[in-house]
Amino acid sequence: RPHVGVLALQGDVREHVAVLRALDAEVSLVRRPEELAAIDGLVLPGGESSVIDKLSRSFGMRDPIIAAREAGMPMYGTCAGLILLADQILDGIAGQRTFGGLDVVVRRNAFGSQVDSFETDLEVPKLGAPQVHAVFIRAPLVEEVGERAEVVASLDDGRVVAVRQGALLGTSFHPEVTGETRFHELFLRAVRAAA
Ligand code: GLN
C-alpha cells in the first residue's frame, strides 16, 4: 500500500486526500521536512502558487522538497502545484520561485478574466475513454514544453494543459474536484514503481 503525502501549506488539500484514500493509498499531510522522509510520493495541491512558495520557504520545506524530487520521489501537481513543478514561470509575482523539475515554461493565470474559470472535456490519449472532464480555475498554461517533458493533454486548440516527465506529473486543471481518479492512479503507479 503506497504511502503518499499531500503538501498541506495552503490549497485544496482535503480534495486530494479524499481521492488518494479512495484509491486505497495511505495518506499523510506534509508540513515539515521530517514528514517527507516517511512518504514515497508527494502531491502539490491547487491553491495559490505564490503563497505555497512563500510558506514552503518559511516552513523550511523548499530545499527538502527539491532534494526529494531530485532523489526521484514521484510528485503530482494540480494547477498551483503544476506551477510549482515547472522549471520556469511567467507572470509570477515578484520574486516568486518554483521547485522545478518539469522542463516546461508555465504562464500563471493564463486565461483572461472572461474565462477565469471554465470546464471542458479533454481527450487524454494516455488515459483512453472516457474523456476527462476538466475544471480550470485561474489556471496556468504550459507555454513551452522542453525536450525532457512529454505532453499528456492539450485543449482543442493545441494549448498544453498536462505534462509528464519521469516520475513527475502536472495538470493545469483539478481532477481532485470532479471524481476523476485516473491522474492520481498514474501518480500512484509511479510511486509503486519508485518504491
Ligand atoms: N492562480 C493560481 C496560482 O497562481 C492557481 C489557481 C489554482 O490552483 N486553481 O497559483
CB atoms within 10 A of CB 177: 17
Looking at the DSSP assignment, which residues form a beta bridge with residue 153?
Answer: 162
- The predicted pLDDT at position 96 comes to 98
The reply, when asked if residue 119 is annotated as ligand binding, is no
Arithmetic mean of pLDDT, 160-185: 98
Q: Reduce the secondary structure of 143-173 to three states and give it as a string.
A: EEECCCCEEEEECCCCCEEEEEECCEEEECC
Q: What is the mean pLDDT of the chain?
A: 97
Q: What is the pLDDT of residue 86?
A: 99
Q: What is the mean pLDDT of residues 54-63?
A: 98
CB atoms within 10 A of CB 139: 28
Give the mean pLDDT of 189-195.
95
Mutate to test the pocket of ligand 1, among 12, 44, 49, 85 (most ligand atoms within 8 A of CB): 49
* ipTM of this complex prediction, to 2 decimal places: 0.96
The phi, psi pair for 81, rounded to 5°, reads -65, -35
Instruction: State residue 115's pLDDT score.
Output: 73
Q: Is 86 within 8 Å of 100 (Cβ atoms)?
A: yes
**What is the number of the ligand 1 atom nearest to the C-alpha of 51?**
10
Ligand 1 probe mutation, 7, 9, 10, 48, most atoms within 8 A of CB: 48
Instruction: Give the ligand 1 atom nearest the CA of 78.
Output: 8
Mean pLDDT on 167-186: 98
Q: Are strands 160-165 and 168-171 parallel, antiparallel or unpaired?
A: antiparallel
The DSSP secondary-structure symbol of 92 reads P
Q: Is the pLDDT of residue 35 over 90?
A: yes
Name all domains of the chain by residue range, CATH numbers in brackets. Answer: 3-194 (3.40.50.880)
162: which strand partners?
153, 171
Question: What separation in Å is there between the alpha carbon of 1 and the centre of ligand 1?
Answer: 31
The CA 182 to ligand 1 mean position distance, Å, reads: 21
Please state the pTM of the whole predicted model: 0.97
pLDDT tens digits for 67-124?
Answer: 999 999 999 999 999 999 999 999 999 999 999 999 999 999 999 776 789 999 999 9
pLDDT surpasses 90 at 21: yes
**Band of residue 176 on the pLDDT scale cut at 50, 70, 90:** very high
Ligand 1 centroid to Cα of residue 5, in Å, is 20
Q: Ligand 1 pocket: which residues have CB below 6 Å? A: 46-49, 79-80, 83, 108-109, 137-138
- Express as a percent the part of the chain with pLDDT over 90: 97
Catalytic site positions: 79, 174, 176
